[in-house]
Structure 1
């Protein structure tokens, strides 16, 4: 092994080795275990959410593989309809052309060309993360097999009457000119206005004042609504008002939807331009008047003066005309939630269009008659309630149920070109025919060649194809061996934000088409936030790139990445200053294993992940510690006989103890994985490897191996235990830190008699029983080592309290205790001297008058005589300085937390961090004050 641990030198080399040797492919033997990857967008690149998500999946897959299961990690990417089309359209714009110039077929050729050249960025990056997916089975939502599945599901649902075409409101992006899903809507509070407009009563007897945030939609009003119990307007119900600027009379209606406290308590109802108004219009049979074009200009349904105007230009014109007519009562500042498209950034319009829908609300009985269970949603709801699917943490089951119980029909059509084109054809009269292809449509409906047909121009929502992912990737609708063996899949790992958009829809589709739930368990994780708990965003300048953490990045490059594309110079300067302050040396290269360890250590079930680079530093140090320990073990086990050639072997208490600790750690890791507590996995491995094995057992082994008088059988047992425990530890840690464990294992395995598998990832998972010795002897050994550790820690703590130099040996006295303590002190006197740097160990009477620093271990008193060690007066002076510093920190923290402005306005996580800091300072001060009191008493 090289002297220094260098992750960059080994990680990519080992990944290529694994992939080239086909180690990621299913074995075909054992219990099936399958995970389907949440398909990342083909336009995407690795972000912290991907890195966390894939770390969890890879840990599960590698563990299952080593447990002898037939593992398939099904990988693939999503065609990301809107996102991909935007990427290619921008590319064409740079060439001075557009998709409309090219036409549909030529444009799609350009998209496929882009996909071939640049569409595998994220899959290359997932490899860097160590993801052991079966790349030989990589799928794409637009490949032939998945496209066939999409068409098949659409046609079957249509045949069952569960897909229909209808005119309803959708989230409409006027820049992209397509409907978009709720997930693609970003609603943020912005500053706006509330216009109070007078609507004159048609009989001339007065007016109603209506409050609105969008005066331009006045052109499509169908009514004014008031609450039925609002006494102010009871006499107005049933009358009509003259719609300002339009010359139409519209009714005043009563509806409980109206909030009497908002605005004036009277609201305009525009069914074609507001989702709530649409519902009101349905209840009252109101006319739907669409007054906008797809690009958000005023159309010919509106009065002539406003036709053709862009919506915000029309708003200004309408407000001015209302004011001129004396109908504008007032304008007030108003904060409101504004929905924008996440791709275009444009303000969205509720827009009335013809779209295709999946019927998620129709009630049918099993024989198809009306009434009974909802055809698609009820089985999906029952699958979770019955326990056939388990969501972790289980509080998400309530969220899942609430959404399904209040679900609306699913708009599945999009007005773009890249995607699965809707399998519907129209004749000259506008009649729609659905089929698997045009030939089937003509055959089934008796349409001869004389009937001209044209296919629907729209494509399907990408969530439609993603809903089929667990079974379409396995070859459905063909009866493939993969569907038979690996469906249902074992576990789904996903974020909480797509429980509705993806998880629920996979259950809806899996049950009727694949005949079973798509997965047994759903592990729902939170967001990856920064170290202060803030959501990562480019505008905040706190985004971390996983590859920068793995490979490192220089400061100037990091600044350039964080400020790229920011339109506001002031924001860019602020982010640059913060970045330079936080990372004055850039980000060092931590390697993939350290990043994965960090994610696992923070994977607390059901909580967001506060990612702190300081933890990466700690786990990089862990990898270095493991590396150095392995080098020591290899140097001290060179020439170790093969297990079958070993002569007499003797195990001392240290060997029995470390084997017992290993067995307990394996059991703890097994339990944690079963409970999806990956933070427990990380802590159990860390504590055993760093604490038990490196800090204790190796130190306990050194005197045995270095003693020329030691019994040969004992030396052999020590060397054998060193290598066997290390080899098992590497297997235990492999799912978490795959690269370093493979590199070390390749050299350790032959000495431990494990060469048959070729790779650690194919070696068997360690079992507690492999390291369980005689229980009575094991218990006694653990008690003996615990005594040794307790005394050693007591001496070390006293040395630290006394601020003694690390290399200074001290005299130690023992008092109290019993015969057992005296026997152990005699047995381990030399070892204690080495571990705690003791120059002389003696027993004294418990009431010894000699001044000493004392620590208790049960009834045993561990004493460090102070004569000649410390100057009490000088030590008091030093402690006073340390306490004074802490007092300053405490005063500042208390002032901050006592400031209502800070507590009320600062982010919750920042306040919590400040409180934690205050607690730490207070604890440190209490410890130092106790030390000072002891020193003062000696003076």
Structure 2
């Protein structure tokens, strides 16, 4: 493209796809396991195959892409392993809904045909999120894309299951689990979403058989009393300690139950006496096992009361609650009912209230695995960033429960356990057995349950690289360098990967874990469809381009702080994209047509050239160090500040006179061109598309990812100081123009009072630029105070700008007085609101926050106006 063909404006949708397609065509993201370069690898947190790109994905994958591109530019052989998760429950629901539209159920067509339908759906519609990640610019090695149900990963899953089973770390038992009455399956803790809801505490009198006393017990779920098999009190509680060993009578049912002593009971909550329902509460389950209490399951798979519920058999659980409360009232056993806010678990997929329920399930005995997983973090073999998450990690790992890995669905890795119909022996092996290993019977039936999706994803860092085979990919890229993930799956996925990695690879799965925060709306609210505040990443990309969107996320990604996102923020960084283009266009338009003017000649550099090169080195070093420590916002801020303000606002303005001077043009352009090229490389991890688009105008055959990140060894401290002085003088004069509302076109005079020889020399060496950029008709030194002048005192000098005849002081004071009235109105309005206790009690927190911001802003405006009026009055 020749100079005159450079467009005045650029539109991301016209070049982003073209650039990405070229990257794919050139296979530029491919990781070479035979490379001699040092490895840097990341495995993508596999999105659900049913999913579409949301803000969490966008942030997570933008940060990963920044890391991969940065380390590739720094000479590493980079692997970003992509893939998707089969998402057992979610995917099964999608296909079941499709069948339901045709009035077909999965049970009608059977398991085999249903699985065929799921695979068919996956081929036709699954994995759309992969294409969406490509729109974001994700530099994954797409040739290596994996799926948690593909043959290689399935073999890895089976190998792990068989090994753990043979070592006694996988077992089958009745245990308390999360049960979804709608999906008819067990759920992992992660698949349960907790919401604060208003419920009630019901205070119920239980009789004590031996003494005739009334024992008052509080519960939030009175229907579960149908499964009560004991009452617990704290042995240190003087109110109840005498009742330990005695018998309580269950109201309505009449069941006799032991009263046990257990320090778990909170003496301060409710009445300090706890009814124990071992089959329907995880804490009660532990207490029940400890004291040998009966485990009475009083509910069926669909949440209806079963035969253990007496007259309530067949009643839906919440309907039964109402009838039980009514009966308790009739028997005068319901003493009172109080409002109570508590956390209620819902199925993440269908939003049904989850029921803790005892069930025959498969479990992993995690304590032996957790010990090693705790040790590697303690020994700093794995570093968690930010560090404060380590405490949370330890708390969870030390209190970890055995992991329920079975799910009562059809889509997933079917548990490789085969029951012998003759002797009852469970056969578990790498290949499907043809006969029982114990009695040789051929009558075998396979377990119908499938494995929890998290079981397969726990193997992700090594199964995706070919394990259990010893592959070159594993040898080169395992352990991975970093895992980027959200805090919500630190325990459920990250901890399990650490356990499985240390167990089966005898090494950690990753060296570092970076935990990023949530993306919220501009008011700090969590995005949700019900609130109507969801921002669609693809809509944002369509409107503003991927680069502006990515840079916004990076610029806001401060460690430990949630991102408050708004389209206005993205629009601001779209302006930055435009600034990059305009600066690039200015330089390229003024270059010779072949663009081949080489690197700058250091012997011909002016002070401003040495200054900008020095600033470039500082910026490259700071961006590099900040990315390495996951301070993405600091890294983005450094390059933004350098390119927009230092390079565009100052350097390009300082060299414009030289660019239009034939004799001085080449050294200035060479320096500007050098800065531009290196800036594009530094910017590339954040803004891959626009940087590549511009660089191709310099060299159509080049790809930025094949370049080297700037490692600059020069230093120009003296020149740096001189230009900083010049900038300070120009800024001081501009500030006076702004403060006194001097029109931009007005030519003014300025006087500098200083005794510093370095400042004097800096002014003399750069007088032409100072006058041009400050719009001065005169610039002189003075050794006395200039009357009727606006002043600006800076370090080492004082600026005087005579304003008589330039500014109508009376008119300016009148204008400021008018502005003051408006600011005072806001100041009084919001100040009054924030002093109103009734308002502060009732108004939403976010509204109060906004009003506080408006109050502070109005106070700041008032202060500045008063200062300006005072200065003007002093000149009268």
Counterpart for residue 663 of structure 1? 617
Alignment of 1:143 with 2:93, yes or no, is no
Check the 8 A contact 1:723/1:748 in 2, yes or no: no
Counterpart for residue 40 of structure 2? 33
Distance change in 2, residues 1:873/1:721 (3 Å)? same
Deviations 1:777-803 (A, max 9, x none): x22221221121111111111110111
Alignment of 1:512 with 2:503, yes or no, is yes
Alpha-carbon separation, structure 1, partners of 2:301 and 2:56: 35
Counterpart for residue 484 of structure 1? 475
Check the 8 A contact 1:225/1:267 in 2, yes or no: yes
Counterpart among 532, 537, 554 of residue 528 in structure 2: 537
Counterpart for residue 413 of structure 1? 406
- In structure 1, stretches of 5+ residues that fail to align are 362-374, 552-588
Q: Secondary structure at the match of 2:801?
A: strand
Deviation at 1:912, TM superposition (A): 4.7
Counterpart for residue 438 of structure 1? 432
Alignment of 1:785 with 2:723, yes or no, is yes
Check the 8 A contact 1:894/1:918 in 2, yes or no: yes
Deviations 1:647-676 (A, max 9, x none): 997211111111111111111111111211
Counterpart among 97, 102, 106 of residue 99 in structure 1: 106
Distance change in 2, residues 1:905/1:591 (3 Å)? farther
Counterpart for residue 415 of structure 2? 422
Deviation at 1:902, TM superposition (A): 4.9
Q: How is 1:808-887 mapped onto 2 (pairs within 5 angstroms)?
A: 808-848=746-786, 850-887=787-824
Alpha-carbon separation, structure 1, partners of 2:789 and 2:101: 80
Deviation at 1:682, TM superposition (A): 0.7
Alpha-carbon separation, structure 2, partners of 1:907 and 1:12: 44
Q: How is 1:493-642 mapped onto 2 (pairs within 5 angstroms)?
A: 493-551=484-542, 589-639=543-593, 642=596
Check the 8 A contact 1:649/1:716 in 2, yes or no: no
Check the 8 A contact 2:435/2:443 in 1, yes or no: no
Counterpart among 182, 189, 202 of residue 182 in structure 1: 189
Alignment of 1:934 with 2:871, yes or no, is yes
Alpha-carbon separation, structure 2, partners of 1:324 and 1:904: 40
Alpha-carbon separation, structure 2, partners of 1:686 and 1:421: 52
Alpha-carbon separation, structure 1, partners of 2:570 and 2:238: 64
Alpha-carbon separation, structure 2, partners of 1:890 and 1:790: 34
Alpha-carbon separation, structure 1, partners of 2:395 and 2:322: 41
Alpha-carbon separation, structure 2, partners of 1:545 and 1:252: 55
Alpha-carbon separation, structure 2, partners of 1:895 and 1:201: 59
Check the 8 A contact 2:425/2:438 in 1, yes or no: no
Deviation at 1:99, TM superposition (A): 0.9
Q: Secondary structure at the match of 1:103?
A: helix
Distance change in 2, residues 1:721/1:203 (3 Å)? closer
Alpha-carbon separation, structure 1, partners of 2:296 and 2:452: 26
Check the 8 A contact 1:215/1:315 in 2, yes or no: yes
Distance change in 2, residues 1:318/1:810 (3 Å)? same
Distance change in 2, residues 1:189/1:79 (3 Å)? same
Alignment of 1:343 with 2:287, yes or no, is no
Deviation at 1:307, TM superposition (A): 1.7
Q: Secondary structure at the match of 1:272?
A: coil
Deviation at 1:231, TM superposition (A): 3.3
Alpha-carbon separation, structure 2, partners of 1:269 and 1:779: 75
Counterpart for residue 400 of structure 1? 393
Alpha-carbon separation, structure 1, partners of 2:758 and 2:338: 84
Deviation at 1:226, TM superposition (A): 2.5
Alignment of 1:764 with 2:764, yes or no, is no
Q: Secondary structure at the match of 1:167?
A: strand
Q: TM-score, normalised by structure 1?
A: 0.89
Alpha-carbon separation, structure 2, partners of 1:461 and 1:6: 45
Deviation at 1:691, TM superposition (A): 1.1
Deviation at 1:641, TM superposition (A): 7.2
Alpha-carbon separation, structure 1, partners of 2:81 and 2:380: 25
Bigger drift between 606-615 and 404-413 goes to: 606-615
Deviation at 1:397, TM superposition (A): 1.3
Deviations 1:240-294 (A, max 9, x none): 2332332432222222233334333333211111112111211211111111111
Q: How is 1:451-466 mapped onto 2 (pairs within 5 angstroms)?
A: 451-466=442-457
Distance change in 2, residues 1:873/1:107 (3 Å)? same
Deviation at 1:209, TM superposition (A): 3.1
Distance change in 2, residues 1:783/1:286 (3 Å)? same
Alpha-carbon separation, structure 2, partners of 1:646 and 1:593: 29
Counterpart for residue 3 of structure 2? none
Check the 8 A contact 2:435/2:444 in 1, yes or no: no
Bigger drift between 450-459 and 195-204 goes to: 195-204
Distance change in 2, residues 1:391/1:235 (3 Å)? closer
Distance change in 2, residues 1:307/1:431 (3 Å)? farther
Q: How is 1:317-356 mapped onto 2 (pairs within 5 angstroms)?
A: 317-356=323-362
Alpha-carbon separation, structure 2, partners of 1:113 and 1:187: 34
Q: TM-score, normalised by structure 2?
A: 0.96
- RMSD between superposed Cα atoms in Å: 2.1
Alpha-carbon separation, structure 1, partners of 2:256 and 2:688: 73
Q: How is 1:707-786 mapped onto 2 (pairs within 5 angstroms)?
A: 707=661, 712=663, 714-749=664-699, 758-769=702-713, 772=714, 775=715, 778-786=716-724
Deviations 1:702-747 (A, max 9, x none): 1012235xxx3x4221111111111111111100100000000111
Counterpart for residue 372 of structure 2? 379
Alignment of 1:7 with 2:12, yes or no, is yes
Q: How is 1:57-76 mapped onto 2 (pairs within 5 angstroms)?
A: 57-76=64-83
Check the 8 A contact 2:180/2:354 in 1, yes or no: yes
Aligned length: 868
Q: Secondary structure at the match of 2:80?
A: strand
Alpha-carbon separation, structure 2, partners of 1:937 and 1:917: 30
Check the 8 A contact 2:595/2:698 in 1, yes or no: no
Alpha-carbon separation, structure 1, partners of 2:332 and 2:785: 100
Bigger drift between 135-144 and 673-682 goes to: 673-682
Counterpart for residue 199 of structure 2? 192
Q: Secondary structure at the match of 1:702?
A: helix
- In structure 2, stretches of 5+ residues that fail to align are 1-5
Distance change in 2, residues 1:922/1:648 (3 Å)? closer
Check the 8 A contact 2:754/2:760 in 1, yes or no: no
Check the 8 A contact 2:600/2:667 in 1, yes or no: no
Alpha-carbon separation, structure 1, partners of 2:540 and 2:838: 36
Q: Secondary structure at the match of 1:490?
A: strand
Check the 8 A contact 1:854/1:861 in 2, yes or no: yes
